[in-house]
Amino acid sequence: MKFNLTGRRMRTLLNALGLSLIGSVIGLSLYLAPLDKLTYLNRVADYVFINDAVTAASNAGVYQKLHIPAPDLEAIDDNVVLVKIDEESIGSDPGQVGPWPWPRHVYGDALKILHEGGAKVVVFDLDFLENSANPTEDARFAAGMRMVPTILPLTVATTSTGIPFEEPTAPDLAPWIAARGFTTVDNPGGLLMGQPLNIDAPATSDAAARHWVSLVAAALQVYSKKKIATQSPWRATFGDSRVPLDGTGRFLLLPFQEAARIDISQRVGAAVSTVNFVQTTSFNKLLQFDTATARIFAKNKIVVIGPTAQGLGDFILTPLGRFPGVYSNLRMIDQLLTHKEIARVPEWIDIGLIIFLPLLLAFVGTQFSPGRGSLFAFASIMVYALISISMWAIKLVWLDLTQVSGAMLLATLFVALYRTVTEGADKRMIRDMFGAHVSPAIVDDILKNDDPKSALALQGKRVKATIFYSDIRGFTSMSEKMTPEQIYGQLNEYFEEMCAIIFKYGGYVDKFIGDCVMAVFSAPNPKPDDAKSAVLAAVEQQEKIRELGARWAKEGRQIFTVGMGCNTGDVVMGNLGSSNRMNYTVIGDNVNTAARLYNVAKGGEIIISESTYEEVKDIVEVDELEPVTVKGKEKPLRIFNVKGRKQPAAAPVQGEVLAPA
């Protein structure tokens, strides 16, 4: 591809770059927008879109079919299991635990079974903020907590002055808690993208500095004996391992799917709700486990107990739907244990792409026609989208898609609209200038050029061309015998036929001078055989004039003859005139010579110069005439009268003996 960066193309490029910057600014504004503003257009939308795309590709088996080594996001994690508080467990029927809320001794009974099963840590995704009305209930719960390390959630709230504080756990349970962790975080637009692993509140005049860990981090620290600490908004550590964050201090949630979707309109739908990546059981079934079954289910594992029942209302919104909140904690525990963390690329990369790629599309796209430029841009957007989605699917790297591709799309649309308007105006100008002077095929050929004005070389260029003139003999005396209407009618009929023949041979009708026709072979794109085209057109025109004369004579109309002249040589071709009115024409000495020749021609004659004769002598019969002296020339000019086309040599008759030359 050859880059043309001069003249009009440079102006087009600069304007296109400016328009692409508008697309970049819009994309950048959405990228930098707060997560709780313009949720359907900002980075939250990007997170949702990529999640949906990756999940759809996975469900369609794209990675398996293409043998792409994408991580299995639904692989069962043997380190963690879920005990569901679901519809199957809540109720008064035989086999159910009882109506909600349950007495706390049932949790103590569950902890005893899990202790016997060898559970390493038990995590409750349930709030226990106050003591039970019956102290024995809390005592039995505490007894179970003494058997197995137990993690309880805490609520971090904010005062009216913005000072964070934690809601206390029930005093009778607090001494036996192995650790506590927060579960409540602000979700932009109501969508859970992830959560901080730690929250730090600096000291103030009213409160000391505080540090809290999430329920996920608390469970993993007790389970692994490794510390989880946030080092910066982009990085945390889990023991010696680095954990990527999203630049705002959040650990990003990897999407997950239910084995059976929750039907919000039917309570029974939630009873079978579960996820694929962990083993689950219902709370009522856990209470019926014997020791052997409990060991199979819980030995050396993190056991998470949380609600999935619709009636309990503990639900979150994720890119793939509305799910019980406990699933998000399970997923984050699974991610940290199996090292399936999402790493967001540094902001400067996303920002650089939002600015650079639209500019690149504008630069490359303006080197093509608007249609091809747009096609290239859309193909580039598709390739970028594929790269972004693949990086997430294969490497769990979040490269912004929506804002980058959106900026690219806006830049493409802006540039395409600009070029359509401006180049459309150029094409209309070309059609207005040439539409009545050359064949439609030549006009279409000009307009196919990326820069039609450049194709015409409107500033003027030196080219070799053949100039043709024709003039009606005796037109003045003939017109004296006709009315103006008859003159115009017959001239228009004559010109129509003559122009059609000129167009047929690729000529350009430069102008009409009364009854005189001036044509150029071949403007605006000269060809090697222009002289032949001009002379053959002249021969056919004389044939057509004789045909018209015969018909006009039968109709009782005036007949006439035409003298024609052709000359070949260098001319200057281009736009000539003033800023208000211009004409595409040719000028130069060879144009003047052609004008002298047609004046020499008698009616029915085609007079050509020596330069034209040298190029057509193999296709036409001529008679050389006496040289003529024309105005502006010191030497007489050799001239030739074209008699007609050369007839091909007859093939010898079989058996005929040709005489030696």
pLDDT above 70 (res 264): no
Sign of CA dihedral 239, 240, 243, 247: positive
pLDDT above 90 (res 60): no
User: Percentage of residues in the chain with pLDDT exceeding 90?
Assistant: 39
Instruction: Encode pLDDT of 379-393 as tens digits.
Output: 999 999 999 998 998
pLDDT value, residue 182:
86
In whole angstroms, give the CA distance from residue 409 to residue 413: 6
Q: Are 114 and 80 a contacting pair, CB within 8 Å?
A: no
Look at 14-28, 194-208, 644-658 and tell me which has the smallest mean pLDDT: 644-658
Instruction: Encode pLDDT of 307-355 as tens digits.
Output: 988 888 777 777 777 788 889 899 999 999 999 999 999 999 999 999 9
In sequence order, the β-bridge partners of residue 161 are none
Report the chain's mean pLDDT, rounded to a whole number.
83
pLDDT value, residue 143:
93
Q: Which 3-state string (H, E, C) describes 164-194?
A: EEECCCCCCCHHHCCEEEECCCCCHHHECCE
317 or 290: which carries more pLDDT confidence? 290
- Average of pLDDT values for 128-138? 88
Count of residues making up the chain: 661
pLDDT above 60 (res 368): yes
Instruction: Encode pLDDT of 527-580 as tens digits.
Output: 889 999 999 999 999 999 999 999 998 988 888 999 999 999 999 887 776 656
The CATH code that applies to domain 439-645 is: 3.30.70.1230
pLDDT above 60 (res 450): no
* pTM for the structure as a whole: 0.66
Instruction: Encode pLDDT of 26-46 as tens digits.
Output: 989 988 888 777 777 888 888
In whole angstroms, give the CA distance from residue 7 to residue 208: 69
**pLDDT category, 428, cuts 50, 70, 90?**
low
Q: Are 57 and 388 a contacting pair, CB within 8 Å?
A: no
In whole angstroms, give the CA distance from residue 552 to residue 591: 33
Q: Are 516 and 469 a contacting pair, CB within 8 Å?
A: yes
pLDDT value, residue 522:
76
- 639 sits in the region (left: phi over 0; alpha: psi -120 to 50; else beta) called beta
**pLDDT category, 263, cuts 50, 70, 90?**
very low
pLDDT value, residue 478:
79
Furthest C-alpha separation in the chain: 138
431 or 52: which carries more pLDDT confidence? 52
Instruction: Encode pLDDT of 84-115 as tens digits.
Output: 998 889 988 888 889 989 999 999 999 999 99
pLDDT value, residue 161:
56
466 or 437: which carries more pLDDT confidence? 466
272 or 480: which carries more pLDDT confidence? 480
pLDDT above 80 (res 631): no
In whole angstroms, give the CA distance from residue 322 to residue 306: 16
In whole angstroms, give the CA distance from residue 292 to residue 468: 108
Q: Judging by DSSP bridges, how do beta strands 620-628 and 582-587 pair with one another?
A: unpaired
User: Percentage of residues in the chain with pLDDT exceeding 70?
Assistant: 83
Cis peptide before 454 (omega within 30 of 0): no
Q: What is the dihedral of CA 46, 52, 55, 61, to 10 degrees?
A: -110
In one-letter notation, the amino acid at residue 141 is F
Q: Which 3-state string (H, E, C) describes 118-132?
A: CCCEEEECCCCCCCC
pLDDT value, residue 305:
95
Please report the DSSP string for 68-110 in residue order.
-----TT---TTEEEEEE-TTTBSSSTTS-BSSSPPTHHHHHH
pLDDT value, residue 426:
57
- For 511, the token pair is 């102008």
- Average of pLDDT values for 200-227? 84
- Across 214-334, the runs of DSSP E, i.e. the strands, are 228-232, 235-238, 241-244, 250-252, 279-282, 302-307, 315-318, 321-324
User: Measuring CA to CA, which residue among 422, 578, 572 is closest to residue 11?
Assistant: 422
In whole angstroms, give the CA distance from residue 33 to residue 293: 52
Look at 131-140, 277-286, 451-460, 644-653 and tell me which has the smallest mean pLDDT: 451-460
The secondary structure of residue 41, as a DSSP letter, is T
pLDDT value, residue 488:
86
